[in-house]
Every structure is written in structure tokens, then in C-alpha cells.
């Protein structure tokens, strides 16, 4: 019967080794899905759908799944949870068991004697003053702060994805316009060179035309370099290799719908619910509990101790109650002098609490500033966009008149190309102001903690 029982236990133990790793993998995948669902909820993924851009939504989803900072934030939350478990363990009894085989020989005896002891020890700190309970509450507050920190960081990452994306859309259009400008300035330089050879244009005008042509080429190189940098930055944000940047798709500038809604005001309730604000609030609460624990370190520590040992002097004898040794006791210890360590610890916790209080108040001011600045920038750039649109309409009309004059022979082609430069410049201003509005909208989303 004992042999069958041992075989069964061994089988169960072996089965556990086989099944548990698979269960651990399933639990890990389930935890990852849960984390991604939570991120999708608090970053307000529905808000991003208002841009009606499938490519943008795809990059945001990739960032949620693959961004290494987001994964690190999830691991920090897991670490904080483990810390809560470790701190909470101090509120529970500590039990240990051991084995003590002894083999000895007494003087005058020819035989050796052996014994075997199985000690079971238990200890429990009586949390009479609630010190360990305060430590557990502090760890829980720290866990909440870590969660809010992760939310704030993840919202920032998603906002960066959106900002980089629309900068890419802007650069695509600006590069397209700049290439046209480079081509026009090349034509101007060629015409100026011919005019100079015929004695119509001065050498000074020729040099200015060549300079404008070279500067336009350099400006094009700057735009292309900025686009390359933006693409590699986007690759890092979505957790992809920079070698794949040539495959990144994005919407064309001309296909973007200008449907930017501007709120009249932002509720103060949104500001105090920002993740970074809530994280600082939880950190302050945790440090307050730590300070209270530091005060309780001046109180005595009360421990309850228990010992139960079974001693057998023969392999044939059983470990019965007759062979048991049991002890139960308690002690109370109050440190009298610790080199002022407890005083210093209390002062340190109070100092850190004061620092966090100042940071908490600063966070409130910074949050209000960021919301106000973002809202003002959005309103200002939206008005600027309307003005630039009017300026472009007027410039296009002016250019159409120039084309008519050129067709009638009133002005030369050189004059027409120079007029086109003003049109191109106004087009670039419109592209810039339109993308500024989208970036401002994302900035307001970030400033409000994705609650806009």
C-alpha cells in the first residue's frame, strides 16, 4: 500500500512538472492580452479613429504591442505587484521545518548511538501597532503609482507616434513642393545664364540665381534628412527594425480631412485625473505611510515563537507524541540606542515627503499650464490655417493672372517662374500650418491624459 501511494505521489509530482510550464505560458499570454486591453482602454483608442486614417491606427496598435518602453512599464507593474506580496508576507506567520540526524558514541561504550530530530519552528510578529499593515498599504499605494506612471508614459509614446506620423505626412508634401521649386530655380538659373551671355542680365543677377538654386537644393536635402530621421524614430516607437522604413505607408497630404474640433474650455476635473497627477498623489500617500512606519519604529516589537520537535533514537521507533518536544513563548524588544538611526530614518522620510509635496504642487501647475498652452496653440494655429488658406487662394489668383500675361506676351517666362516661387512658398506655409493643427490636437490629447 505504501509503495502504491509513493508511486502515485511520484506520478503526480512528475505530471506537475510537465503541465505547469504549459500553464505558465498560457497565463503569460493571458496576462499580455489583459495588459494590451487595459492600454487600449486608457489611451482612448476611439479618439484616434476620428482622424479616419487606417495607417495611423495600424502604427498605434503596433506601438501598443511591440514598443519596448510599454513592455518595460508592464514589467514594472508586475514588479510592484511582487513587492506587495513580499511586504504582505511580514503580516503572516513564518514556519520552517528541518531535519537533524545525529550519530554519537558515549565514553565506555563500544556501540554508537543515533538519533533523528524533525524540528518545526514558527514565529509571528504581533502587529499590535499596525506597523506591518502600514508597510503593506504603502506598497499598495506604490503599486497604484506605478500603474499611473505606466499610463502616463504609454500615452506619451502613443502621442509621439501620432506626432511623428503627421510630421512624415507634412515632409512628404513639403519635399514634393520643394522638388518643384528646385526645378523652377534650375530653369531660372539656366535662363539667367543665357541672358548673361547675351549681355541682357548682369553677372550679379546670375550669381544670385545660382545661389538661390543651390540653397533650394540644400533645403531639399534638409527635408529628406528630417524625413529619414522621422522614419527611423517611428520604427523604434513601433518596435520595428529601421531597415523596414521604406515599407512604411502613410496617407497623402491632399487626402487629409481638416475636421479638427476645438473645445471651448477644459474642465479642471480632467486635469486632476491626469495619470501623472494621480501617480504623484499615490506616491505622496505612500510616503506618508512610510513616515508613519518610521515613527512606529520607536515602539517595541512583539514576537510569538513556537517550536515543535520530534526526536527518534531508533529507526524502528515512530515519531509519536511521546517523542515530541514543544515550546511556546514570546518576547518584546525595544531598542534603546541604535546610533540615532531611527531618528535619522524618521527625518529622512519627512524630508522626502516634503519633496514629494512640492513636486505634487508643481505637477498641478504644470498640468494646468500644458492644458492651457495646448488649447491656445490649437486655437491660434487653426486661425493661422484659415489665414494661410486665404493667402494661398489669393496667391493662386495672382499666379493665374501672371499665366495669362505670359500667354499674351506681356511678361517673360523668367518673370512667370519668379511669380511661381511666391506660390510655392505660400503652399509650404499652408502645409506647415495644417499639420501644426493636427500636432496641436495630439498635444491637447496628451495634456488631458487622453480624456479629451
pLDDT, residue 5, reads 37
68 pLDDT more than 70: yes
Strand 301-312 to strand 100-104: parallel, antiparallel, or no bridges (unpaired)?
Answer: unpaired
pLDDT score for 24? 43
Average pLDDT, integer, range 4-29: 42
Query: In the chain, pLDDT over 90 holds for what percent of residues?
Result: 63
Q: Is residue 23 part of a domain?
A: no
Please tell me the predicted confidence (pLDDT) of residue 102: 78
Split at pLDDT 50, 70, 90, the class of 316 is low
Distance CA 185, CA 421 (A): 8
pLDDT over 50 (residue 6)? no
CA torsion, points 339, 345, 348, 354, in degrees to nearest 10? -140
Asked whether residue 312 is assigned to any structural domain, the reply reads yes
Model confidence at 1: pLDDT above 70: no
Is the pLDDT at 423 greater than 60, yes or no? yes
Do the domain assignments include residue 121? Answer: yes
**How do strand 100-104 and strand 94-97 relate by DSSP bridges?**
unpaired
On average, the pLDDT of the chain sits at: 87
With DSSP H G I counted as helix, E B as strand and the rest as coil, what are the percentages for the chain, rounded to 5? 75, 10, 15
Amino acid 315: pLDDT: 52
Residue 141: domain span: 33-105+112-447
Question: Is 164 part of a structural domain of the chain?
Answer: yes
436 within a domain of the structure (yes/no):
yes
Continuous segment of H or E residues that includes residue 416: helix 413-447
Is residue 294 predicted with pLDDT exceeding 80? yes
Helix axes 131-197, 275-296, angle to 10 degrees: 150
For 28-36, what is the mean pLDDT? 60
pLDDT at 301 over 50: yes
Output the pLDDT for position 11. Answer: 39
Nearest to 417 by CA among 178, 185, 182: 185
Confidence band (pLDDT; 50, 70, 90) for 25? Answer: very low
Cell triple for residue 348?
Answer: 529622512
Quick one: pLDDT band at residue 418, thresholds 50, 70, 90?
confident
pLDDT in tens, 210-253: 999 999 999 999 999 999 999 999 999 999 999 999 999 999 99
Q: Which residue has the higher pLDDT, 295 or 414?
A: 295
Q: Could you give the CA distance from residue 73 to residue 75 in angstroms, rounded to a whole number?
A: 5
200 versus 121: which is more confidently predicted?
Answer: 121
Measuring CA to CA, which residue among 57, 69, 66, 73 is closest to residue 240? 66
pLDDT of res. 39: 80
Binned at pLDDT 50, 70 and 90, residue 32 comes out as low
More confident residue, 265 or 147: 147
Indicate which CATH number applies to the domain containing 179: 1.20.1600.10
Does residue 139 or residue 336 have the better pLDDT? Answer: 139
- Note whether residue 15 is domain-resident: no
Predicted confidence band at 21 (pLDDT cuts at 50, 70, 90)?
very low
Domain assignment present for 175 = yes
Residue 24 in any domain: the answer is: no
Terminal Cα-to-Cα distance of the chain (whole angstroms): 70
Domain count, the chain: 1
Amino acid at each position: 500500500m505504501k509503495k502504491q501511494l509513493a508511486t502515485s505521489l511520484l506520478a503526480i509530482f512528475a505530471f506537475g512538472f510537465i503541465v505547469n510550464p504549459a500553464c505558465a505560458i498560457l497565463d503569460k499570454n493571458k496576462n499580455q492580452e489583459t495588459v494590451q486591453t487595459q492600454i487600449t482602454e486608457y489611451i482612448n483608442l476611439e479618439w484616434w479613429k476620428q482622424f479616419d486614417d487606417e495607417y495611423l491606427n495600424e502604427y498605434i496598435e503596433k506601438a501598443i504591442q511591440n514598443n519596448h518602453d510599454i513592455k518595460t512599464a508592464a514589467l514594472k507593474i508586475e514588479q510592484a505587484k511582487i513587492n506587495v506580496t513580499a511586504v504582505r508576507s511580514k503580516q503572516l506567520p513564518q514556519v520552517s521545518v528541518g531535519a537533524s540526524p545525529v550519530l554519537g558514541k558515549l565514553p565506555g561504550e563500544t556501540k554508537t548511538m543515533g538519533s533523528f530530530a524533525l524540528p518545526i519552528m514558527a514565529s509571528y510578529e504581533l502587529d499590535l501597532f499596525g506597523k506591518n499593515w502600514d508597510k503593506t498599504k504603502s506598497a499598495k499605494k506604490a503599486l497604484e503609482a506605478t500603474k499611473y506612471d505606466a499610463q502616463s508614459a504609454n500615452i506619451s509614446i502613443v502621442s509621439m507616434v501620432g506626432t511623428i506620423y503627421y510630421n512624415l505626412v507634412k515632409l512628404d508634401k513639403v519635399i514634393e513642393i520643394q522638388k518643384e521649386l528646385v526645378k523652377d530655380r534650375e530653369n531660372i538659373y539656366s535662363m539667367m545664364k543665357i541672358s548673361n551671355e547675351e549681355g541682357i542680365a548682369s553677372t550679379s543677377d546670375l550669381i544670385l540665381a545660382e545661389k538661390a538654386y543651390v540653397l533650394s537644393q540644400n533645403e531639399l536635402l534638409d527635408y529628406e534628412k528630417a524625413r529619414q530621421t522621422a522614419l527611423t524614430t517611428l520604427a523604434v516607437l513601433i518596435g520595428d527594425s529601421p531597415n523596414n522604413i521604406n515599407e512604411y505607408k502613410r496617407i497623402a497630404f491632399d487626402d487629409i480631412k481638416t475636421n479638427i474640433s476645438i473645445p471651448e474650455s477644459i474642465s479642471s476635473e480632467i486635469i486632476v485625473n491626469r495619470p501623472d497627477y494621480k501617480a504623484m498623489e499615490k506616491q505622496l500617500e505612500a510616503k506618508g505611510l512610510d513616515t508613519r512606519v518610521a515613527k512606529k519604529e520607536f515602539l517595541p516589537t512583539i514576537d510569538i515563537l513556537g517550536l515543535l520537535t520530534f526526536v527518534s533514537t531508533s529507526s524502528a521507533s515512530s515519531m509519536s507524541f511521546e517523542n515530541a518536544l514543544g515550546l511556546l513563548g514570546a518576547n518584546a524588544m525595544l531598542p534603546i540606542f541604535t546610533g540615532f538611526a531611527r531618528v535619522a530614518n524618521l527625518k529622512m522620510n519627512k524630508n522626502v515627503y516634503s519633496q514629494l509635496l512640492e513636486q505634487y504642487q508643481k505637477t498641478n501647475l504644470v498640468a494646468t499650464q500644458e492644458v492651457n498652452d495646448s488649447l491656445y496653440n490649437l486655437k491660434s494655429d487653426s486661425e493661422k490655417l484659415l489665414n494661410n488658406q486665404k493667402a494661398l487662394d489669393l496667391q493662386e489668383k495672382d499666379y493665374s493672372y501672371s499665366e495669362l500675361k505670359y500667354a499674351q506676351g506681356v511678361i517673360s517666362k523668367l518673370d512667370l517662374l519668379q511669380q511661381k516661387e511666391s506660390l510655392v512658398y505660400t503652399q509650404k506655409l499652408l502645409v506647415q500650418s495644417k499639420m501644426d493643427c493636427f500636432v496641436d490636437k495630439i498635444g491637447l490629447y496628451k495634456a488631458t491624459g487622453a480624456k479629451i
